[in-house]
Amino acid sequence: MSQQLIWNLAGIVYKEQAVNFLKRFEESLCVFSGTVEQVYANYNIWPVTADSSKLLVLPNAQAHHDTYQDVSSEAVVKTGLFIVPGEAIGQKGLLLAKRNPGTGKFIFVPFASGLKKVADMMPSSEPFLPVITNKDLRELNKAAPILHLHRVKPSLLKDLSRFDATSLQNTIQNKMDRFLLCA
């Protein structure tokens, strides 16, 4: 089993809160595992230790069609964007955050409108396709979980057929769209 399927939360203070936060995104964010070059659209998150210091992110064995093979690590890039629970800073709902390049402090905007703004800024040939990877679950000031986003760059999906690349793009987009409708 890929070590990237086991997420180590040893450095996170509020592990149970972090696990619950991450589980909110099982239905809306795909997971990328670089060691096996796969994207999982259908998966479950399971604590494998009593203290939730390790999680197993396991693809659904009954949904082979929701696992995309041959997605190279070069096609998945950091965004510098984070999903933050509003409660972490005294607000409601989910927030999208990025660091201010001048001060290094986070700038927060409502999640749905921030994600729409990011998506609108992307060229149609390179849509914003968010995924998460091992080590993307972090803490904000050792007080609240945050989730860093990576994105799939369609132009770098060289080892996928056009059909599979389009299917992956549609799957990522549809999952996020469904989430935004419910958020």
pLDDT in tens, the chain (183 residues): 456 588 888 888 888 899 999 999 998 999 999 889 999 999 999 888 888 888 988 888 888 889 999 999 999 999 999 999 998 888 999 999 999 999 989 999 999 999 999 999 999 889 999 999 998 999 888 788 999 999 999 999 999 999 999 999 999 999 988 877 765
Give the count of domains, the chain: 1
CB-CB contact of 37 with 46 (8 Å): no
For 84, the enclosing helix (H) or strand (E) is strand 76-85
Size (the chain), residues: 183
Contacts of 18 (CB under 8 A, 6+ apart): 9, 12, 52, 137, 139, 145
DSSP 105: -
Query: Domain range spanning residue 94?
Result: 3-182
68 beta partners: 39
The pTM is what?
Answer: 0.90
